[in-house]
Amino acid sequence: MHLLQSAIMSHGFLGYNATFMLDLIVCALILVVPVLATSIFLVRVRRNYVWHRRVQLFLAGVLLLAVVGFEVDVQLVHGGWQNIVHQARPDISVDDFNFAHTLLRIHLVFAVSTPLLWALTLSLALRRFGNPPAPSRHSPWHRWLGWTSAIDLTLTSVTGLLFYYFTFMTR
Protein backbone atom coordinates (compact mmCIF):
# COMPACT_ATOMS: atom_id res chain seq x y z
CA MET A 1 0.00 0.00 0.00
CA HIS A 2 2.92 2.36 0.59
CA LEU A 3 3.78 2.37 -3.14
CA LEU A 4 0.17 3.10 -4.03
CA GLN A 5 0.04 5.76 -1.32
CA SER A 6 3.12 7.55 -2.62
CA ALA A 7 2.08 7.27 -6.27
CA ILE A 8 -1.58 8.31 -6.10
CA MET A 9 -2.83 11.59 -4.66
CA SER A 10 -0.18 11.84 -1.98
CA HIS A 11 1.13 15.35 -2.56
CA GLY A 12 -0.94 18.48 -2.33
CA PHE A 13 -0.77 21.50 -4.59
CA LEU A 14 -1.32 24.36 -2.13
CA GLY A 15 2.25 24.33 -0.87
CA TYR A 16 1.65 22.53 2.42
CA ASN A 17 2.45 18.96 3.28
CA ALA A 18 -1.10 17.67 2.84
CA THR A 19 -2.58 15.23 0.33
CA PHE A 20 -3.91 16.19 -3.09
CA MET A 21 -7.46 15.39 -1.99
CA LEU A 22 -7.13 17.45 1.20
CA ASP A 23 -6.02 20.41 -0.89
CA LEU A 24 -8.88 19.80 -3.35
CA ILE A 25 -11.39 19.71 -0.49
CA VAL A 26 -9.93 22.94 0.94
CA CYS A 27 -10.53 24.61 -2.43
CA ALA A 28 -14.08 23.23 -2.48
CA LEU A 29 -14.68 24.52 1.06
CA ILE A 30 -13.55 27.98 -0.02
CA LEU A 31 -15.72 27.98 -3.16
CA VAL A 32 -18.87 26.41 -1.74
CA VAL A 33 -19.98 29.39 0.36
CA PRO A 34 -19.89 31.97 -2.49
CA VAL A 35 -21.66 29.52 -4.82
CA LEU A 36 -24.25 28.89 -2.12
CA ALA A 37 -24.68 32.64 -1.63
CA THR A 38 -25.16 33.04 -5.38
CA SER A 39 -27.85 30.36 -5.35
CA ILE A 40 -29.64 32.11 -2.48
CA PHE A 41 -29.36 35.43 -4.32
CA LEU A 42 -30.87 33.86 -7.43
CA VAL A 43 -33.95 32.71 -5.55
CA ARG A 44 -34.39 35.53 -3.00
CA VAL A 45 -33.62 38.56 -5.17
CA ARG A 46 -34.04 37.42 -8.75
CA ARG A 47 -36.86 34.93 -8.05
CA ASN A 48 -35.10 32.59 -10.47
CA TYR A 49 -36.25 29.25 -9.10
CA VAL A 50 -34.98 27.24 -12.08
CA TRP A 51 -31.39 28.44 -11.72
CA HIS A 52 -31.58 28.08 -7.94
CA ARG A 53 -32.51 24.42 -8.44
CA ARG A 54 -29.77 23.92 -11.05
CA VAL A 55 -27.06 25.47 -8.86
CA GLN A 56 -28.15 23.45 -5.82
CA LEU A 57 -28.17 20.16 -7.74
CA PHE A 58 -24.81 20.96 -9.35
CA LEU A 59 -23.30 21.90 -6.00
CA ALA A 60 -24.67 18.76 -4.35
CA GLY A 61 -23.31 16.55 -7.14
CA VAL A 62 -19.86 18.13 -7.17
CA LEU A 63 -19.55 18.00 -3.38
CA LEU A 64 -20.75 14.39 -3.29
CA LEU A 65 -18.05 13.38 -5.77
CA ALA A 66 -15.41 15.41 -3.91
CA VAL A 67 -16.31 13.92 -0.53
CA VAL A 68 -16.39 10.35 -1.87
CA GLY A 69 -12.97 10.88 -3.46
CA PHE A 70 -11.71 12.45 -0.26
CA GLU A 71 -12.92 9.58 1.93
CA VAL A 72 -11.41 6.98 -0.43
CA ASP A 73 -8.12 8.86 -0.29
CA VAL A 74 -8.10 9.35 3.48
CA GLN A 75 -9.42 5.93 4.52
CA LEU A 76 -8.26 3.52 1.82
CA VAL A 77 -5.13 5.11 0.39
CA HIS A 78 -3.70 6.69 3.55
CA GLY A 79 -5.25 4.56 6.29
CA GLY A 80 -6.89 7.42 8.21
CA TRP A 81 -6.42 11.07 9.00
CA GLN A 82 -3.95 10.31 11.79
CA ASN A 83 -1.51 8.77 9.30
CA ILE A 84 -1.76 11.83 7.05
CA VAL A 85 -1.06 14.17 9.96
CA HIS A 86 1.85 12.11 11.27
CA GLN A 87 3.34 11.86 7.77
CA ALA A 88 2.89 15.59 7.17
CA ARG A 89 4.13 16.61 10.60
CA PRO A 90 6.21 13.83 12.16
CA ASP A 91 7.28 16.23 14.91
CA ILE A 92 3.72 17.26 15.90
CA SER A 93 3.35 17.62 19.64
CA VAL A 94 0.75 15.67 21.57
CA ASP A 95 -1.03 18.93 22.42
CA ASP A 96 -1.14 20.03 18.77
CA PHE A 97 -2.35 16.60 17.67
CA ASN A 98 -5.08 16.62 20.34
CA PHE A 99 -6.10 20.13 19.28
CA ALA A 100 -6.35 18.94 15.66
CA HIS A 101 -8.43 15.99 16.82
CA THR A 102 -10.79 18.31 18.71
CA LEU A 103 -11.14 20.56 15.65
CA LEU A 104 -11.85 17.51 13.50
CA ARG A 105 -14.56 16.28 15.88
CA ILE A 106 -16.25 19.69 15.79
CA HIS A 107 -15.96 19.71 12.00
CA LEU A 108 -17.48 16.23 11.76
CA VAL A 109 -20.61 17.35 13.64
CA PHE A 110 -21.34 19.71 10.75
CA ALA A 111 -19.82 17.54 8.00
CA VAL A 112 -22.16 14.66 8.91
CA SER A 113 -25.30 16.72 9.51
CA THR A 114 -24.91 18.84 6.36
CA PRO A 115 -25.43 16.10 3.76
CA LEU A 116 -28.34 14.69 5.76
CA LEU A 117 -30.05 18.09 5.95
CA TRP A 118 -29.20 18.91 2.36
CA ALA A 119 -30.48 15.53 1.10
CA LEU A 120 -33.75 16.10 2.96
CA THR A 121 -34.02 19.65 1.61
CA LEU A 122 -33.32 18.58 -1.98
CA SER A 123 -35.47 15.45 -1.97
CA LEU A 124 -38.48 17.28 -0.56
CA ALA A 125 -37.97 20.16 -2.99
CA LEU A 126 -37.76 17.82 -5.97
CA ARG A 127 -40.98 16.08 -4.90
CA ARG A 128 -43.01 19.07 -3.71
CA PHE A 129 -42.09 21.81 -6.16
CA GLY A 130 -43.23 21.59 -9.75
CA ASN A 131 -41.08 21.50 -12.83
CA PRO A 132 -40.29 24.28 -13.43
CA PRO A 133 -40.12 25.05 -9.71
CA ALA A 134 -42.35 27.76 -8.30
CA PRO A 135 -43.50 28.85 -4.85
CA SER A 136 -45.99 26.49 -3.21
CA ARG A 137 -47.33 25.40 0.16
CA HIS A 138 -43.95 23.75 0.74
CA SER A 139 -42.10 27.11 0.47
CA PRO A 140 -42.03 28.05 4.19
CA TRP A 141 -40.72 24.60 5.19
CA HIS A 142 -38.22 24.65 2.30
CA ARG A 143 -37.04 28.12 3.32
CA TRP A 144 -36.39 26.90 6.89
CA LEU A 145 -34.64 23.72 5.70
CA GLY A 146 -32.66 25.70 3.13
CA TRP A 147 -31.38 28.26 5.61
CA THR A 148 -30.58 25.54 8.14
CA SER A 149 -28.68 23.60 5.47
CA ALA A 150 -26.87 26.75 4.31
CA ILE A 151 -25.76 27.61 7.84
CA ASP A 152 -24.69 24.01 8.44
CA LEU A 153 -22.73 23.93 5.17
CA THR A 154 -21.06 27.24 6.03
CA LEU A 155 -20.04 25.86 9.44
CA THR A 156 -18.73 22.73 7.72
CA SER A 157 -16.57 24.96 5.52
CA VAL A 158 -15.32 27.14 8.36
CA THR A 159 -14.46 24.24 10.67
CA GLY A 160 -12.84 22.27 7.83
CA LEU A 161 -10.68 25.25 6.93
CA LEU A 162 -9.74 25.73 10.59
CA PHE A 163 -8.71 22.07 10.81
CA TYR A 164 -6.55 22.40 7.68
CA TYR A 165 -5.00 25.66 8.87
CA PHE A 166 -4.06 24.48 12.36
CA THR A 167 -3.02 20.99 11.22
CA PHE A 168 -1.07 21.69 8.03
CA MET A 169 -0.31 25.41 7.76
CA THR A 170 0.91 26.32 11.24
CA ARG A 171 4.02 24.96 12.91
* Backbone CA torsion sign across 158, 108, 23, 16: positive
Domain that holds residue 11: 2-169
Domain count, the chain: 1
Q: What tens digit of pLDDT does each residue of 56-94 get? A: 999 999 999 999 999 999 999 999 999 999 999 999 999
pLDDT of residue 171: 74
Q: With a cut of 50, list the residues of the chain below it in pLDDT.
A: 1-9
What is the pTM assigned to this prediction?
0.90
In whole angstroms, give the CA distance from residue 102 to residue 113. 17
- Tell me what pLDDT residue 11 has: 78
Residue 56 burial (CB < 10 Å; 0-12/13-18/19+)?
A: buried
